[in-house]
Amino acid sequence: MRKVFQAELHQVGEQLIEISRLVAEAMEKANQSFVNADIELAQEVIAADARIDFLQNDLDERAIEILALQGPVASDLRMIVGALRMSASLERMGDLARHVAQLARMRYPANVSPESLRPTFAELAENDIAIARKLTELLDTRNLELARDINRHNDRINELHAGIFKAIAAPDFPGNAPTAVDVSLASRYFERFADHGVSVARKVTYLVTGEWAPNGASH
């Protein structure tokens, strides 16, 4: 019985890693569709999000089944509850990658971002992709150095996000009102993606160390 239980817990952990891997891939492709105004790639990201949603639901059902049949306690219980929460954050990260792709699709064949902000968006995306990849590795290895890296990427994203809003407010902003809106929404999607990544990393850290900093990343 104990052995079956451990195998089931392991499977939940593997499924989290799989979802995280798909989320990283989604953001990579969403960014390419955003940068290159590539509508086919955007469609692909939008369609692929259903798979992430399916895997999240499946993981949640598994987790609830384990709770029902095994009645786990202590660290196993925390791990299962943590998995339920992490899967919700990862699913949301998938949604945000999809939103980036949807913006690219909506503006096709134009580019969402004006020329002058493209380097900033490139750096935003780079940091998001790094977060998603490191998250996948963190879930796999539980090497907390990766959680610290993720926080640093998020700090940089917050700076870049603030910079975008400053650029929009500047009198020389090279776009009309709809462009400003697209740019601000895109920036917010990249920033929220990172927030959820930080939130998952915090949960892993908590599962490893037992130390919890409530709500530190939800603002």
Residues that bind a second copy (CB under 8 A): 53, 57, 64, 67-68, 71, 73-74, 77-78, 81, 84-85, 88, 91-92, 95, 165, 168-169, 173, 175-181, 184-185, 188, 214-215, 218-219
Shortest gap between Cβ of 92 and a second copy (angstroms)? 8
Distances (CA, A) of 156 to 1, 4, 25, 89: 47, 43, 21, 20
**Closest separation in Å from C-beta 143 to a second copy:** 26
Whole-angstrom CA distances from 58 to 118, 173, 200 are: 38, 46, 19
CA distance 17 to 70: 23
Nearest distance from C-beta of residue 95 to a second copy, angstroms: 7
Measured CA angle at 130 (ends 11, 26), to 5 deg: 65
Q: How many CA atoms lie within 13 A of 45 on its CB side?
A: 30
Query: Would you say 108 or 165 has its CB closer to a second copy?
Result: 165
CB of 145 to a second copy, least distance (A): 27
User: With respect to a second copy, which residue has the nearer C-beta, 108 or 173?
Assistant: 173
User: Which is nearer to a second copy, 2 or 215 (by Cβ)?
Assistant: 215
Side-chain-facing half-sphere of 16: CA atoms under 13 Å: 33
What are the b/e assignments for 144-154, b being 16+ CB within 10 Å? eebbebbbebb
Instruction: Please state the closest distance from residue 6 (CB atom) to a second copy, in A.
Output: 18
Report the half-sphere exposure of 140 (CA within 13 A, side-chain side).
Answer: 11
Which residue, 4 or 181, has its beta carbon nearer to a second copy? Answer: 181
Toward a second copy, which CB reaches closer, 7 or 177? 177
CB of 72 to a second copy, least distance (A): 8
Q: Which residue number, 7 or 74, has a Cβ lying nearer to a second copy?
A: 74
For residues 129 and 92, the answer to whether their CB atoms sit within 8 Å is no
Alpha helices, DSSP H, located in 108-176: 118-141, 145-169
